[in-house]
Amino acid sequence: MKLSSPYKCDYCDNMKGETNHWWLLLVNPSFELHPWDENFLDAKGVEHICSQACAAKALSSWMSLVSKRSESDSPCAALELPRAEAPWVKPAVRS
């Protein structure tokens, strides 16, 4: 007999059913949303997301966390990405 899924959404109290289409969220340091994958359910730092609405909540809390961290610094620092390596930052040209 198969046990019912013990997984609960990390952003509301929904319990996962057999046929629900859920998502896995990995926040380290960027925001990555992945299709539900049995192999990664208990991996470190993984959160379980039941719906678009909860994914939006997760994105919003991640964004406020990142902007808090970067108040006195650049957003690149919050993502632990050296400025020079960020593709959108052009190196300063000195003459």
> Could you tell me the smallest distance in angstroms from the CB atom of residue 15 to Zn ion?
10
Does position 55 interact with Zn ion (CB under 5 A)? The reply is no
Q: Which residues pair with 24 in a beta bridge?
A: 34, 48
User: 32 Cβ partners below 8 Å, 6+ apart?
Assistant: 25, 26
Q: Which residues pair with 15 in a beta bridge?
A: 8
User: 19 Cβ partners below 8 Å, 6+ apart?
Assistant: none
Does position 50 interact with Zn ion (CB under 5 A)? The reply is yes
Nearer to Zn ion, 9 or 24 (CB): 9
Does position 25 interact with Zn ion (CB under 5 A)? The reply is no
> Could you tell me the smallest distance in angstroms from the CB atom of residue 30 to Zn ion?
21
Q: Which residues bind Zn ion (CB under 5 A)?
A: 9, 11-12, 14, 50, 54
